[in-house]
Amino acid sequence: MRADLDIIQEWIPAGSRVLDLGCGDGELLARLREHKEVSGYGLEIDPQNIAACLDKGVNVIEQDLDKGLGNFAANSFDVVVMTQALQAVHYPDRILEEMLRVGRTCIITFPNFGHWRCRWYLASKGRMPVSEFLPYTWYNTPNIHFCTFKDFEALCRERQVRVLQRLAVDREHRHGWASRLWPNLLGEIGIYHVSRR
């Protein structure tokens, strides 16, 4: 079971209407439906993931996030979630704006490129970091807009987005003393709960 989903689940009120962008195999929505009577939809483009959603009985809509959320009305969802997809969309700032338009609050998770391992890799080898956690080379990666926690928070400030909660965790989604102390250096994944100011 993915630990980030445990954390996200806690931030979503029971009975909410949830839109999950890049919902993967639908695990989050399946769990929210089961434990929190949440209704909602996942957006996904990968055929295998879509099939997995159908198998789980999760509502899945085949839709490309890069084409926006124009088909969803403003404030039509309680929570809009996007886990590990911010770095893979063409315009992260636009999707953030769209999420805040459609949902009352948003939950976003993304890998922190400011983590010391990334910094060390780049500094010592002079090459783009490739690891078990980010197992792609620069030319074949789906991740095209890496950022650090500081970068994301600067974007939030610039766009008048309020950070309600933030957790910096390691790749196992544990949040120990280290990532609390120096999140931008020691946190591998950021889990942000944001809303329009």
Partner 1 sequence: MRLAFPEDSVGLVRPQMLHFSEPLTLACGRSLSDYELVYETYGELNAARSNAVLICHALSGHHHAAGYHSPEDRKPGWWDSSIGPGKPIDTRRFFVVSLNNLGGCNGSTGPGSLNPATARPYGADFPVVTVEDWVHSQARLADALGIQQWAAVVGGSLGGMQALQWTISYPERVRHCLAIATAPKLSAQNIAFNEVARQAILSDPDFHGGHFQEHGVIPKRGLMLARMVGHITYLSDDAMGEKFGRELKTDQLNYDFHSVEFQVESYLRYQGEEFSGRFDANTYLLMTKALDYFDPAAAHGDDLAKTLAVARADFCLMSFTTDWRFSPARSREIADALIAAGKNVSYLEIDAPQGHDAFLMPIPRYLQGFRSYMNRIAV
Q: Given the complex with partner 1, which of 41 and 152 has the nearer CB atom?
A: 41
Closest separation in Å from C-beta 70 to partner 1: 10
Residues lying near partner 1 in the complex (CB under 8 A)? 17, 39, 41, 47, 50-51, 53-55, 57-63, 71-73, 76
- Token pair, residue 53, equals 């959603």
Q: How many whole angstroms separate alpha carbon 144 and alpha carbon 122?
A: 17
Which one, 70 or 135, has the nearer CB to partner 1? Answer: 70
Q: How far is the CB of 193 from partner 1 (least distance, A)?
A: 24
Judged by CB, which is closer to partner 1: 6, or 62?
A: 62
Nearest to 80 by CA among 61, 96, 60: 96
Least distance between partner 1 and beta carbon 37 (Å): 14
- Give me the least distance between CB of 26 and partner 1, in Å please: 10
